[in-house]
Amino acid sequence: MNNNKMERLNGEIRDREIVRGLKKKDSPLLKGYQLYHNYVRPHMALDGATPADKAGIEIHGDNKWITLIQKASTR
């Protein structure tokens, strides 16, 4: 089984934890990073697409962050 993608995400979170001193496991930073990783950040392994793009979830707008925040605030 190949789990390189998951290990990469864990490494990025671990780097954040060490450098920035992430203290709480329920920190909102973790949810924000998860959103960034899945909806905003293009991935080389996915030919420049995001995991959301590959799953058929489209985020419309010039700024994906703002679009995600606006959609979350209307629910």
Name the band, by pLDDT with cuts 50, 70 and 90, for residue 58: confident
Q: 65 pLDDT exceeds 70?
A: yes
Please list the helix, strand and coil fractions of the chain in percent, rounded to the nearest 5, in that order.
Answer: 65, 5, 35
Q: So what's the pLDDT on residue 41?
A: 86
Measured CA to CA, the distance from residue 54 to residue 46 in angstroms comes to: 8
Task: Please check whether residue 37 lies inside any domain of the structure.
Answer: yes
Task: Please check whether residue 19 lies inside any domain of the structure.
Answer: no
Q: So what's the pLDDT on residue 23?
A: 67
Task: Please check whether residue 64 lies inside any domain of the structure.
Answer: yes
Task: Please check whether residue 6 lies inside any domain of the structure.
Answer: no
Task: Please check whether residue 2 lies inside any domain of the structure.
Answer: no
- Predicted model pTM: 0.62
Task: Please check whether residue 63 lies inside any domain of the structure.
Answer: yes
Q: So what's the pLDDT on residue 75?
A: 65
Task: Please check whether residue 44 lies inside any domain of the structure.
Answer: yes
**Which range of residues forms the domain containing residue 28?**
24-75
Reported as a single tens digit per residue, the pLDDT across 15-30 is: 666 556 566 667 777 7
pLDDT, mean over the chain: 79
How many domains, in total, are found in the chain?
A: 1
